[in-house]
């Protein structure tokens, strides 16, 4: 018996497991540790670094220092992707949170909480914010990576003013304040009361599932998933969605348990690299290219915010996925039944979504890489669905990208399109949906080449060279067979708050709509990762079945010539192609 339940008035009640009198706070001297600069995806380092003396405590203390009085008396969430060191970290965080005056912390059972589920929790219970322990798709374990990020009150990744303030505090921190709490048992649901401070261990799935039920038609999905002629394979990659796939896909929707692969979250993700793409989700890819392929194959990453969608021998690029979901959302997903407020994509993401917006008469926004840019649009009611080429797709039900949401969105499209197809009849497949979409909107062929671990100096020199080329490429300039429409460095002015983000990628846009984009990754942990994004549009249906690498061959060649990438970086080939 868990003792955990939600009542209809909107308050959480649970059985009391432990009560202690007031706790005392101990002040411990500390010294600043270099390099605790937090990006929007939080702080990511080797696990061993985080396990070093006061490393985690310093950052957590700096976070609470930066939140100041605002966080006193408030409730926050805490959980993570199941990786090594999370459970230990929880105990340290609770002690510092209590000493900082936090009133209550909701912790996921076994320290589990997927990033999108945490965003949902914040919004559902009007939490002040939450801490998520994850290094996303980076491998986990004592020799691998650990990470932590803070999400704020509308469920969005912390804004820069907070991450900058945290960094500021890490640079002159001199003391840590710990409440002397006993270790909290994370394996059982219930509330622990320590004086004025409470810890409630909660089911990490319940609120997220409740939200998904508001978004999707679970009856339609259940009926569809139970069809004997339809199959789904979901690969949790031994990461956090393993804790969600069972309750959601199997218990709530009736999928056979065998349709979940690698469904147990493991501290080292089974030694894998939990990033759902054609390279790292190779088990699922092999299956989908075999004759045992499922009608819908899908995978999610370490913390559950990324996704990959596959049909039988068919890959839906993330750029197409967001466009295809947007095109079908109103018809197939109840949450969108009164239409979309607008759509958005990151700059390097292909313009497939723009084509949908144009035909449907929707506002369409192009933002820099980084999920945080979508949040403002959503808060202002300007955007319902958005996505990025980096395997992120989502909507305004939360303020993070959402892996399982994307899977249920695709399942909803399939279910709706097959609703009148008799069992055993000619099914509408993932591939059919893509081909129909391209016939209607045209196809934006897209590919990304990554050059990982390039020397920073070399990468910067190449960027300088590209700036020169752009300066000398006014509209009308011929580059190979392509005519330049604009060549510039992407800069974004947020339409809501007017803030400006500059130097967000170098782009060559040609008169036929093709694009070549260069960017340096903002998430790498060592050296530089050069990303080359290539896009070419075709409205000619006879080309739509072409392999993207083949269709893009000439423009990729041009991109390599223009940038002199090999000369600058010494790389003949990319490390990853998506």
Which sequence positions are flagged as catalytic? 136
Residue 305 binds Zn ion (CB under 5 A):
yes
CA dist 22 and 197 (Å) reads 9
CB 350 within 8 A of CB 359: no
Residue nearest to Zn ion according to CB distances in the complex: 136
Handedness of CA 175, 179, 180, 181 (dihedral sign): negative
Judged by beta carbon, residue 65 or residue 307, the one nearer ligand G6P is 307
Residue 301 binds Zn ion (CB under 5 A):
yes
- DSSP secondary structure code for residue 542 in this structure: G
Residue 303 binds Zn ion (CB under 5 A):
yes
SS3 567: helix
Q: Which does 393 bind (CB under 5 to 8 A by kind): ligand G6P, Zn ion, none?
A: none
Provide the minimum distance between the beta carbon of 520 and ligand G6P in the complex, in angstroms, as a whole number: 8
Q: Which does 485 bind (CB under 5 to 8 A by kind): ligand G6P, Zn ion, none?
A: none
Provide the minimum distance between the beta carbon of 137 and Zn ion in the complex, in angstroms, as a whole number: 5
Provide the minimum distance between the beta carbon of 252 and ligand G6P in the complex, in angstroms, as a whole number: 27
CA dist 235 and 259 (Å) reads 8
CA dist 440 and 539 (Å) reads 9
Q: Which does 392 bind (CB under 5 to 8 A by kind): ligand G6P, Zn ion, none?
A: ligand G6P
Pairing of strands 576-577, 392-395: unpaired
Judged by beta carbon, residue 235 or residue 303, the one nearer Zn ion is 303
Residue 47 binds Zn ion (CB under 5 A):
no
Q: What angle do CA 113, 119, 122 make, to 5 degrees?
A: 100
- Residue 420 tokens, joined: 């009148």
Q: What angle do CA 362, 366, 370 make, to 5 degrees?
A: 125
Provide the minimum distance between the beta carbon of 95 and Zn ion in the complex, in angstroms, as a whole number: 27
Residue 145 binds Zn ion (CB under 5 A):
no
Judged by beta carbon, residue 354 or residue 388, the one nearer ligand G6P is 388
Question: C-alpha dihedral over 138, 139, 144, 146, to 10 degrees?
Answer: 50
Residue 324 parent element (H or E):
helix 318-332
Provide the minimum distance between the beta carbon of 300 and Zn ion in the complex, in angstroms, as a whole number: 8
Q: Where are the beta strands (DSSP E) in 53-186?
A: 75-80, 104-112, 129-133, 145-151, 175-179
Instruction: Please count the other Cβ atoms lying within 10 Å of the Cβ belonging to residue 10.
Output: 9
- Phi and psi angles of residue 16, each rounded to the nearest 5 degrees, phi first: -80, 130
* Span interacting with Zn ion, options 10-18, 129-137, 228-236, 505-513, rule CB under 5 A: 129-137
Provide the minimum distance between the beta carbon of 519 and ligand G6P in the complex, in angstroms, as a whole number: 6
Judged by beta carbon, residue 106 or residue 371, the one nearer ligand G6P is 371
Provide the minimum distance between the beta carbon of 307 and ligand G6P in the complex, in angstroms, as a whole number: 12
Pairing of strands 75-80, 43-46: unpaired
Judged by beta carbon, residue 78 or residue 340, the one nearer Zn ion is 78
CB 509 within 8 A of CB 486: yes
Judged by beta carbon, residue 145 or residue 303, the one nearer Zn ion is 303
Q: What share of the chain is helix, strand, coil (3-state, %, to 5)?
A: 35, 25, 40
What DSSP assignment string belongs to 225-273? HT-TT--EEEE-TTSTTHHHHIIIIIIIT---GGGEES-S--TTGGGS-
Provide the minimum distance between the beta carbon of 230 and ligand G6P in the complex, in angstroms, as a whole number: 31
Q: Which does 41 bind (CB under 5 to 8 A by kind): ligand G6P, Zn ion, none?
A: ligand G6P
Judged by beta carbon, residue 136 or residue 536, the one nearer Zn ion is 136
SS3 49: helix
- Residue 324 tokens, joined: 């295809």
Q: Which does 303 bind (CB under 5 to 8 A by kind): Zn ion, ligand G6P, none?
A: Zn ion
CA dist 209 and 50 (Å) reads 32
Provide the minimum distance between the beta carbon of 470 and ligand G6P in the complex, in angstroms, as a whole number: 20
Q: Which does 523 bind (CB under 5 to 8 A by kind): ligand G6P, Zn ion, none?
A: ligand G6P
Judged by beta carbon, residue 89 or residue 114, the one nearer Zn ion is 114
- Site residues, ligand G6P (CB under 6 A): 41, 369-371, 388, 390, 392, 521-523, 531
Instruction: Please count the other Cβ atoms lying within 10 Å of the Cβ belonging to residue 341.
Output: 17
Q: Which does 522 bind (CB under 5 to 8 A by kind): Zn ion, ligand G6P, none?
A: ligand G6P
Q: Which of 518, 517, 490 is nearest to 504 (CA)?
A: 490
Residue 389 binds Zn ion (CB under 5 A):
no
Q: Which does 301 bind (CB under 5 to 8 A by kind): Zn ion, ligand G6P, none?
A: Zn ion
* Span interacting with Zn ion, options 32-40, 49-57, 130-138, 150-158, rule CB under 5 A: 130-138
Q: Which does 369 bind (CB under 5 to 8 A by kind): ligand G6P, Zn ion, none?
A: ligand G6P
Q: Which of 411, 458, 422 is nearest to 255 (CA)?
A: 411
Whose structure tokens read 């466009």? 323
* Span interacting with Zn ion, options 168-176, 304-312, 359-367, 478-486, rule CB under 5 A: 304-312
Judged by beta carbon, residue 295 or residue 303, the one nearer Zn ion is 303
Which residue of 58, 65, 66, 136 would you call a contact of Zn ion, by CB under 5 A? 136
* Contact positions vs Zn ion (CB under 5 A): 136, 301, 303, 305-306
């Amino acid at each position: 018996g868990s003792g955990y339940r939600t009542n209809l008035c909107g308050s959480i009640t649970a059985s009391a497991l432990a009560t202690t009198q007031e706790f005392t706070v101990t002040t411990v001297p500390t010294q600043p540790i270099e390099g605790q600069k937090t990006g929007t995806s939080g702080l990511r380092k080797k696990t061993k670094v985080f396990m070093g003396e006061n490393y985690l405590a310093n950052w957590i203390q700096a976070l609470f220092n930066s939140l100041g009085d605002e966080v006193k008396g408030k409730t926050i969430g805490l959980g993570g992707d199941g990786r090594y060191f999370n459970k230990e970290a929880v105990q340290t965080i609770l002690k510092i949170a209590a000493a900082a005056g936090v009133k209550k912390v909701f912790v996921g059972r076994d320290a589990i909480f997927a990033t999108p589920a945490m965003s949902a929790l914040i919004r559902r219970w009007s939490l002040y914010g939450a801490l998520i322990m994850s290094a996303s798709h980076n491998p986990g374990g004592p020799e691998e990576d650990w990470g932590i990020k803070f999400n704020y009150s509308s469920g969005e990744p912390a804004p820069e003013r907070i991450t900058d303030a945290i960094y500021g505090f890490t640079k002159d921190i001199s003391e840590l304040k710990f409440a002397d709490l006993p270790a909290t048992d994370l394996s059982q649901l219930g509330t622990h009361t320590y004086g004025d401070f409470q810890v409630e261990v909660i089911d990490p799935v319940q609120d997220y599932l409740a939200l998904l039920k508001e978004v999707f038609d679970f009856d339609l999905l259940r009926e569809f998933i139970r069809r004997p002629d339809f199959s789904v394979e979901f690969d949790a990659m031994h990461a956090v969605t393993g804790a969600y796939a069972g309750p959601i896909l199997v218990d709530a929707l009736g999928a056979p348990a065998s349709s979940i692969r690698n469904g147990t979250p493991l501290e080292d993700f089974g030694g894998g690299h939990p990033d759902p793409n054609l390279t790292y989700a190779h088990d699922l890819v092999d299956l989908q290219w075999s004759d045992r392929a499922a009608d819908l194959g899908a995978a999610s990453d370490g913390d559950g915010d990324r996704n990959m969608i596959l049909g039988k021998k068919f890959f839906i690029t993330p750029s197409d996925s967001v466009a295809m979901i947007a095109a079908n959302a109103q018809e197939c997903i109840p949450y969108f039944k009164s239409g979309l407020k607008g759509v958005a994509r990151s700059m390097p993401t292909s313009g497939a979504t723009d084509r949908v917006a144009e035909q449907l008469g929707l506002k369409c926004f192009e933002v820099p890489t980084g999920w945080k840019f979508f949040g403002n649009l959503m808060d202002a009611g300007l955007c319902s669905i958005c996505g990025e080429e980096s395997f992120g797709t989502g909507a305004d039900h939360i303020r993070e990208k959402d892996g399982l949401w994307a899977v249920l969105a695709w399942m909803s499209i399939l279910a709706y399109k097959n609703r009148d197809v008799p069992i055993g009849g000619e099914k509408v497949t993932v591939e059919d949906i893509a081909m129909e979409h391209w016939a209607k909107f045209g196809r934006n062929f897209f590919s990304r080449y990554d050059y990982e671990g390039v020397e920073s100096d070399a990468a910067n020199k190449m960027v300088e060279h590209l700036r020169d080329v752009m300066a000398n490429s006014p509209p009308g300039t011929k580059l190979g067979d392509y005519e330049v429409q604009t060549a510039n460095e992407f800069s974004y002015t947020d339409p809501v708050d007017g803030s400006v983000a500059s130097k967000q990628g170098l782009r060559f846009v040609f008169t036929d709509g093709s694009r070549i984009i260069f960017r340096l990754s903002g998430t790498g942990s060592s050296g530089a990762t050069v990303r080359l994004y290539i896009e070419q549009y075709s409205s000619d249906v006879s080309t739509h079945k072409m392999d993207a690498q083949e269709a893009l061959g000439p423009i990729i060649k041009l991109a390599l010539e223009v940038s002199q990438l090999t000369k600058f970086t010494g790389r003949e080939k990319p490390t990853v192609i998506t």
